Amino acid sequence: MFRLWCGGAKAQWANDLTISDFIRAYDLQTPFFRLESQRNLARVPKNVEKAKHIRRYAMINPVFGQVLLDERFGVAPKAWPKVMAEVFPVDDAPTPYEMACAVLRFPCSHFWSFVETYPDKQVASAFIWYLAGAPPKAIAQALDITTQTLYRRLAHLLHRAMGTAKLVIWVVSTDLMPIVTNQSRARALAALYRGESISRWLPDSRNSFRIYDDIVNTPYFQAQLKARRAIKRIPRPIYTPGVVFPTIEAKREWESTDSMDTRWLSRHRSQLQKLNPKDICTWSRLPLRVPVYDRDDPEVKRELRRRARKRRQRAATRSSQP
């Protein structure tokens, strides 16, 4: 989607970008990215450079900039469109927020394969951006389709994904103890619920995914699929809670907090608001909830000095370590 919004950009540096890089580009402080470990990761020189490149492309390509700075970006969709909700095998399907927290950041490498292996890479990318809160109209316009067509294509991706037994077990989230009749099943389920590679749990993992198929094909599990409900629901693991805001109200609350991060966000939004009216998209929502970041503001100067001191302290600590 990035390349479509940026007029087919062929930049090589963008090849290894993840949705996390786009969320970090304007310091969106979702509950997960607010963690100290993630704030430190954002300061790694490689990630700082990525963020600079993304922001530069956002300023050159106003549509892309409006996607990243839209108040809905970084917020999970409120609910599934009907055509997508009907694809799930149970009525108590995972919410878009649960799906976003489970899919936008894999708990371990190649944990899910349904997005990576989907034949239409543009639709696969659209699914990730949709979960991350990009306005559906923006995604549809980039693909030159209607919003309803977009939902149908995303529904097709989910329909294909429901052929993956591992994902179906996660979606249904039922108590499987009655059919855990051997150690292989117990270990495979432990890997799934802990978000770990199955190779860590099974010495010979060459055909390990067949274990998930065997679980789904049991009469016990099939009966629940037929009834479209779990016999005994268990908590659904979401692996990376808070990777996006759960609601638009939660993001608005953060944006309304007067801080360096929110003032900086307002500054970039204000720059987009000065665009020629014909370049501002009809779907764009760029509210200014706090004063614009101003380097000449005494309060801002004090904060910049404080941050500079912290950077020097961290650098001194690293240099003193053996």
**Using one digit for the tens of pLDDT, what is the confidence trace for 44-97?**
889 999 999 999 999 999 999 999 999 999 999 999 999 999 999 999 999 999
What's at 275, amino acid-wise?
Answer: L
End-to-end CA distance of the chain: 44
Angstrom distance (rounded) from CA 104 to CA 176: 26
- Angstrom CA distances, 237 to 68, 179, 288, stand at 28, 20, 35
Q: What is the DSSP letter of 176?
A: -
Angstrom distance (rounded) from CA 245 to CA 132: 9
The whole-model pTM stands at 0.89
* Structure token pair of residue 21: 């890089």
Among all chains, which residue has been given the structure tokens 């020629």? 276
> Tens of pLDDT along 5-56?
988 777 787 888 999 999 999 999 999 999 988 988 888 889 999 999 999 9
Contact 100, 132 (CB under 8 A): yes
> Tens of pLDDT along 266-286?
999 999 988 888 899 999 999
What's at 175, amino acid-wise?
Answer: D
Model confidence band, residue 202 (pLDDT cutoffs 50, 70, 90): confident
What's at 165, amino acid-wise?
Answer: A
